[in-house]
């Protein structure tokens, strides 16, 4: 989450419900912050989720839309809008369940965010082991993920020896063509799925993205 692993949750509800949450917030293990619909958009980075009641659904600031949502349902006819929330609660609240599910939701969201990496025009999902571009996806292995991530984080090309020993964890006596074969297969899979022949480049000093 944020500093000291705290969970920070924005709250955009009507005044009466805000007051109620303020009264019971000592039971929460997350930090709750009352906001309004005019909050600056750049403030979204301070929060892990947003609590919103059914009266305020249409007033969520634009940059808060993608935050995990905790919807407080007051309207019994609100059936077609519950997909806007990852968790929904009906009143009266069970305070301890409310607290537990919000914290768990934020942890799951943080785990998901940490597993998603942007590489060029691609998205790498480390958790699902998928490389994605547009509507096309490619299943890849854990070693291939480690290889791609190491290439991404390296400021210079990686030598075959480095890849052999540090990524694929082979002994230094292993033939380098073993690594060449692994990388060739990965490049072929990317080419066949995405039509991209330059995702992994082979230059004089080694491999790079």
- The model carries a pTM of 0.58
Give the pLDDT confidence of 135-152 residue by residue, as tens digits. 999 999 988 988 898 898
Give the pLDDT confidence of 103-117 residue by residue, as tens digits. 988 888 887 777 888
CATH number of the domain located at residue range(s) 120-208 in this protein: 1.10.10.10
Per-residue pLDDT, 4: 43
For CATH 3.40.50.2300, the residue range(s) in the chain are 3-114
Per-residue pLDDT, 187: 92
Per-residue pLDDT, 100: 93
Long-range contacts of residues 57-66, Cβ cutoff 8 Å, at least 24 apart: 57/81, 57/84, 59/12, 60/12, 61/35, 61/37, 64/10, 64/12, 64/39
For CATH 1.10.10.10, the residue range(s) in the chain are 120-208
Alpha carbon distance, N-terminus to C-terminus of the chain:
29
Per-residue pLDDT, 189: 93
Q: What percent of the chain has pLDDT over 90?
A: 29
Per-residue pLDDT, 195: 92
| 27 — pLDDT class (breaks 50, 70, 90) | very high
What is the dihedral angle through the alpha carbons of 40, 41, 47, 51, rounded to the nearest 10 degrees?
Answer: 80
d(CA 56, CA 49): 15
User: Is the predicted pLDDT of residue 2 greater than 60, yes or no?
Assistant: no
Partners of 185 in the β-ladder: none
> What is the third-level CATH fold of 3-114?
Rossmann fold (3.40.50)
Q: What's the rounded mean pLDDT across residues 49-64?
A: 88
């Amino acid at each position: 989450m944020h500093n000291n692993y705290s969970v920070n949750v924005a709250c955009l509800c009507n005044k009466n419900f805000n007051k109620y949450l303020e009264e019971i917030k000592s039971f929460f293990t997350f930090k709750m912050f009352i906001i309004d619909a005019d909050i600056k958009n750049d403030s979204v980075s301070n929060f892990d989720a947003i609590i919103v009641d059914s009266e305020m659904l249409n007033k969520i600031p634009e940059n808060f839309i993608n935050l995990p949502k905790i919807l407080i349902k007051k309207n019994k006819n609100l059936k077609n809008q519950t997909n806007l929330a990852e968790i929904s609660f009906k009143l009266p609240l069970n305070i301890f369940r409310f607290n537990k599910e919000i914290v768990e939701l934020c942890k799951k969201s943080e785990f998901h965010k940490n597993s998603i990496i942007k590489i060029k025009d691609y998205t790498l999902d480390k958790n699902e082991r998928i490389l994605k571009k547009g509507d096309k996806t490619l299943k890849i292995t854990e070693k291939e993920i480690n290889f791609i991530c190491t290439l991404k984080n390296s400021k210079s090309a990686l030598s075959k020896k480095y890849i052999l020993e540090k990524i694929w964890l082979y002994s230094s006596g292993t033939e380098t063509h073993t690594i060449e074969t692994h990388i060739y297969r990965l490049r072929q899979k990317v080419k066949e799925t995405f039509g991209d022949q330059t995702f992994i480049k082979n230059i004089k000093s080694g491999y790079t993205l």
